[in-house]
């Protein structure tokens, strides 16, 4: 016969156990709860990994391009505010990249679709 011990718990907890145990006795119910809590995650949870769809990836790509365009616009405007009068080759290259990015955003952007990113 297994050794028995006594556990002192609040009366409210005993009331919850009695309300939810059904036909099981208190010891079996508590053992069931502990075993179910300590078991490994069921296969269903392990297999339900969510992946991004093609549309979500495209939308994310467009949002990143918009963000990069915003940075480029800022730095171009900031450079102009400094009052540089000479146009360097780097500036010309940056301007051409900005125009290419702007054309790319205009042609590939679907109307009304926007990706949102949740950070943890």
In this prediction, residues 64-92 reach a mean pLDDT of 79
Higher pLDDT, 25 or 110: 25
Higher pLDDT, 98 or 65: 65
What does each C-alpha distance from 39 to 36, 43, 48, 53 come to in angstroms? 5, 11, 18, 32
Q: How many other C-beta atoms can be found within 10 angstroms of the C-beta atom of residue 53?
A: 9
Residue whose entry in the numeric block shows the structure tokens 């391009």: 65
Instruction: Output the average pLDDT for the chain.
Output: 78
- Three-state secondary structure call for residue 119: coil
| pLDDT exceeds cutoff 60 at 120 | no
- pLDDT digit string (tens) for 8-54? 889 998 899 888 888 888 888 888 888 888 886 655 555 566 888 89
In this prediction, residues 43-69 reach a mean pLDDT of 82
Cα–Cα dist 98/100, whole Å: 5
Higher pLDDT, 36 or 87: 36
What does each C-alpha distance from 9 to 26, 50, 110 come to in angstroms? 12, 41, 60
In this prediction, residues 101-113 reach a mean pLDDT of 66
Q: What pLDDT does 85 receive?
A: 59
The answer to whether 57 touches 117, Cβ cutoff 8 Å, is no
């Amino acid at each position: 016969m297994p050794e028995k011990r006594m556990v002192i718990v609040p009366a409210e907890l005993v009331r919850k156990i009695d309300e939810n145990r059904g036909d099981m006795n208190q010891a079996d119910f508590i053992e069931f709860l502990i075993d179910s809590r300590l078991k490994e995650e069921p296969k269903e949870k392990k297999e339900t990994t969510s992946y991004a769809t093609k549309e979500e990836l495209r939308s994310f790509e467009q949002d990143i391009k918009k963000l990069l365009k915003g940075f480029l616009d800022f730095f171009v405007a900031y450079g102009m505010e400094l009052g540089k009068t000479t146009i360097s080759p780097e500036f010309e290259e940056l301007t051409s990249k900005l125009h290419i990015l702007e054309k790319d955003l205009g042609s590939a952007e679907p109307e009304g679709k926007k990706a949102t990113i949740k950070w943890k």
